[in-house]
Amino acid sequence: MLFLALGFFTLVVFDQGQDILKSLSLTGSSEIVRQTVFVLFAVSWWSWQSFRSARVILHFSYFNFWSYRPSYSFRAQVFIPRLLASLPFFILAMAVYRANGASVTALVALLFSLGIWMFVLLHYRKSIIVKLRSWKEFLPNVIPDYIPIKNGAYPASFIWTKQRKWFLFRITLVVALFVGFYIYPIHLSQYLGSATVVLIGFGSWLILASIVSFLEKLIRFPVSFSILLLVVASSFFNNNHEVETIGVSPIRADVEAHFTQWANARNAKADSTVAYLIMAEGGGLRSAYWTNGILNLLESRQANFHDNIYSYSTVSGGSLGVMMYETLNDHEQHKDLKMPGQYLREDLLAPITSSLIFRDLLQKFIPYPIKALDRSRILDKSFEQSLPDPLLWQKGFLENYAKSEHPMIIMNTTHVESGRRMLVSNVDINGMKSRQIHDYFEVTGQDIKTSTAIGLSARFPFITPPALIKDRNGNTYGNLVDGGYYENLGMQSMLDLYTILKKLSQKHRYRIQFRFIAIRNTKSQVDDKPLKGMVETLAPAQTFTNIWNNNSNKVLSNGKLLIEQNNDEIYVLRLEREDKENIPLGWYLSDDARNNLNRQLNSLSNLTIDRILKNP
């Protein structure tokens, strides 16, 4: 029941997986059909393990609702495992139905019918087993013996004698899955697909749970309670999410030195100059694709657009989109990948999901931290694999970008213990410290891979863990999470920087006009419909989401007043969507979502683009 409830919330209630389920189909590209077939196998696996787990529990239980109605108790024990086995099909059918806008597709009908047929199969299961075991001489060795339900508990030794081979087979299969996802965390999970990974995970952990239940009865010891105590106790010692460093961080220029060198290189004292300040909102792969597409679109309209970018302030997926743009600008041989549809095509959700289920979850039961199990490192590797040359982001962030010719990059994270911003920047942000901002590289003194720097700003809850960081002396400094916790647009950090740049521009008499470009990907309207069900569960999540979005709106609104008072300009490029249209926040984009993004990129107002790019 616990795993069925988790499956219902994961597949039906939360929107994060809707784009994945929407892309499933029995027709279409070979990849879509393959992953749909895998999903059908995976939900069957979950279904069968739900049945087997229920049977294991009932074998060890004296299950009698009312002592005067033993026949009712018997019927309930027979019926319940069959119902639990059918529910995974019905849950997935409901999720696919919801993902397709309450439309009964062929896959929905198939899943629903498979749920019914699973019930029928289990109804005749005893007859089928007896028939098969008597059919050929070798079949009794490969088909587990049937153990009937009774009003009373079986001894564990009896169950082991009857179904030892079945237990060993299930254990071997689960071990093989864990080993496979450990050795091939990216390629195997992307081949199977995110939905398959989740469904296989439910079935696999159900097996482990039923084995624990069996051990409790076999050795007559509270194994499950002991494991729970172990998990709680180990949590004080086994945090394996420490950020991976790659050496002492190089010296960075401070804001004044970086800005004056940038302005002097463009002869800003004599010539009117535009300095673009770009904010890229968080939102997973959707935000990355949208951000990257807009930057490439602007560059296609004006060849020197990139040269006039002074700074970025990014969050989560916006960081990935900006860094992809910057990296491909540095390497001319990969310019062809800058066209929309040729980049960011990988499923980045499947690797981190498989690592959460099959790698990092094991760490909870191990008192000593094993950094190789850290799922955030798999997300970093997924970022690297999205490039034509993964080595580009395996090098240090400061090693790559602390040079004067690069724009100032600010990737926003949030320091858990203080609730303040911690900025990952290729420029020393000493002038911004008065605003209670942490400087990541000043605190740690260590460089990190470019992919890790991107990942630090994308530590969204549950899917990605908080990042443990240590200071220069090796002492624990705290934990970092997604920059969107503080403010999801990165506007506040850019305004703090703008205040300094404006003073420097006036001090040196630069003829610079600052143009802000806010790349947004959230709905412009607020969904204020009242909650109708599961209020206590959904209210905190919806409240956080709305406040998260409203914080960016408030900072953007206040920032516009300041910018316009200074005779500078701000432009907001927003990814619009209909009220019921699903454009996901996660690390996966279906073909439909990608096509929608491309349509909106192509339909951006030429008037707005021309105003952004006009000469000062």
Report the CATH number at residue 369.
Answer: 3.40.1090
Give the pLDDT of residue 70.
60
Give the pLDDT of residue 527.
56
Give the pLDDT of residue 154.
67
Residues 6+ apart with CB under 8 A from 497: 255, 277, 311, 313, 408, 410, 429, 432
Residue 232 lies in a domain: no
| Helical (H) or strand (E) element with 405 | none
Tell me whether residue 478 is exposed, middle or buried, using C-beta atoms within 10 angstroms of its C-beta: 0 to 12, 13 to 18, 19 or more: middle
Give the pLDDT of residue 407.
95
Whether residue 216 sits in one domain with residue 250: no
| Helical (H) or strand (E) element with 480 | strand 476-482
Whether residue 211 sits in one domain with residue 250: no
Whether residue 289 sits in one domain with residue 175: no
From 108, 92, 106, select the one nearest 46 (Cα to Cα).
92
Residues 6+ apart with CB under 8 A from 395: 449, 450
Torsion sign across C-alpha atoms 494, 262, 458, 421: negative
Whether residue 251 sits in one domain with residue 206: no
Give the pLDDT of residue 607.
87
Phi, psi of 265 (to 5 degrees): -65, -20
User: Which domain range does residue 194 map to?
Assistant: 2-221
Tokens of 563: 């910018």
Rg (C-alpha) for the chain, rounded Å, is: 28
Consecutive 10-residue averages of pLDDT for the chain (616 residues) = 87 76 86 93 93 77 54 70 93 91 90 94 81 70 66 68 77 92 92 93 89 80 89 91 92 93 93 95 90 92 92 95 90 57 77 92 91 93 89 93 89 94 93 80 95 93 89 94 90 94 94 95 64 69 68 84 93 76 68 85 88 87
Angle at 56 between CA 52 and CA 59, to 5 degrees: 130
Whether residue 150 sits in one domain with residue 262: no
The residue from 221, 253, 288 where one domain ends is 221
Give the pLDDT of residue 63.
52
- The neighbour count for residue 235, using CB atoms within 10 Å, is 12
Residue 226 lies in a domain: no
Q: Please tell me the total count of domains within the chain.
A: 2
Query: Per the confidence metrics, is the pTM higher than 0.85?
Result: yes
From 83, 58, 378, 55, select the one nearest 244 (Cα to Cα).
378
Residues 6+ apart with CB under 8 A from 168: none
Whether residue 216 sits in one domain with residue 279: no
Q: Are 244 and 377 in contact (CB under 8 A)?
A: yes
